Each structure stands twice: as structure tokens, then as C-alpha cells.
Amino acid sequence: MSDDVLILDRIVAGYGALTILDGLTFSAPRGQVTTLIGANGAGKSTVLKTVFGLVRPREDDIRLDGVPIVGQTPRELLGKGLVFVPQGRNLFPTLSVRHSLELGGITLADKALLRRCIDAVLARFPRLAERADQQASTLSGGEQKMLEIGRALLLAPRVLLIDEPSIGLAPKVIAEVFALLRGLAGEGVTVVMVEQNVKSALTISDKAVALEQGRVAIEGPAQAVLNDPRIGAFFLGGHVAAVR
């Protein structure tokens, strides 16, 4: 079996007539953190949405452990261990922490198993356990992000797609979230992250993929990509080809 659990090959996708991903090819190694970086509009979030079945590619080959997954619904993909945490706050503000977790595990038919999974998540996140009966809206930004990630962990993901986890968080909380993602990779979860906080994200990543205009411009070990002198072009509006 390949060490690459997720493979995208020459993906073309977008919205209506607008093409965002234009021949995108990259892979995510098993049990590692792969981070997508690039300027706004480079197609980073569209990659995650396409993998999770929210955007249908026009030309495609996406494989999970060697098996094609294009055309499968998000619910079907959840059942295969592919879980997506979107950008921003994605919680029902009036629901309690515990009820939010119960909804997150709605695909688990075994209710006893669901209860055990919820208990395991609360054990992993003591602050959520302390606030289990509080409304999600009363949590801090960092606690809400932990709840979103905890909800994803209920489904025992093999691959966790997460979009901009640091948005709106204090530096200390960002470090906690990144440490959590690093720890999940250590437990065998393949993490594919989109992140604008490039230095901090690549510090805890194994692999980095820099996108430009819907294609991969640089791909390699995270530290090597972080030190690549061309990276500045992504955030200064230039083109990689023009940088030497």
C-alpha cells in the first residue's frame, strides 16, 4: 500500500464557468501533516471542498488509499474516515457542548458507541468537559475550535481536512491547536490543512504544498518550502516563475 493515503491527480474544478483548480496534482502521506499555502484566491479551500465532495471536479482522479472517491457524497466519505472541518465557526450557538458532539456523531448508529466516543473526546479536551452543559456560544474562540475538532474526532478520522484553524484565535491558542493537530498525526491521522499563518503552520508540518493560480508551484518537506526564497512571491502578488 502506498505511503500516500490521499492522491489528487490533474484536478480541474471550480464554480460554474470559473475554473479555480487547473490541473492540480499532489499527495498527502499517511500519518503526516500536509499544509497548503498560497495567496488568497490560489484555490486552497477549493481543494478541500473538492476532496470532500462539496465541489465536483470537471476532470478528476482523487483516491483514498488507492480507491477512487470522486462522486461520493460527504456522508459516504465520512463513513470512509474522511472528515472536513470548514473555515470559520460551524456550530449551533444555542446547543450545549454535549449536544453539539451528539449531532457530530449522527452517522454512528450504535448509540452506546457514540456515548463512549463523546466521553473520549471530553477526556481529550478537559476544558470542553468542564463546559459540557454550556451553550456553544458561551465558549471562547479557542474552545469553539476545539469543539469543532472534537466533533470531527468522533468519527475516528483516517484523514482530517481542516481549513484555516487559526482564524480569530490568540497566539497561545493557535499554538495549542497546532500542537493538537501535530499530535493527531502522531496517532496515525493524516492531516491536510489550509493555513495562512505560514511560519507557525509549517513548523509543525511534515509536508508543504504551495499553490499558485490553482496549480502546485512548490511541493516538498515543510522546512525546505518554508526556507525557499520563492515563497515571498505568493504573498507579495508576484509569480513564482519570476523569482530566482
pLDDT tens-digit readout, 140-152:
988 998 999 999 9
Q: Count the Cβ atoms, other than its own, within 10 Å of residue 209.
A: 27
The partner residues of 162 in beta bridges, in order of sequence, read: 85, 193
pLDDT, average across residues 103-126:
85
**What's the pLDDT score for residue 161?**
98
Percent residues over pLDDT 70 in the chain? 94
Place of cell 484536478: 11
> Once rounded to an integer, what is the mean pLDDT over residues 31-56?
94
For residue 112, pLDDT beyond 60? yes
Measured CA to CA, the distance from residue 209 to residue 204 in angstroms comes to: 14
What's the whole-number mean pLDDT along residues 35-55?
94
Mean pLDDT of the region 172-196: 94
Q: Give 233's pLDDT tier (boundaries 50, 70, 90).
A: low
Residue 241 has pLDDT above 70, yes or no: no
| 224 SS3 class | helix
CB hemisphere CA count around 135 (13 angstroms): 5
Q: Mean of the pLDDT values across residues 25-42?
A: 94
Residue with cell 489550509: 194
What grid cell was written down for 173? 491558542
- The C-alpha cell that represents 241 in the structure block: 516563475
**Length of the chain, in residues:** 244
Q: What are phi and psi of 231, to 5 degrees?
A: -60, -35
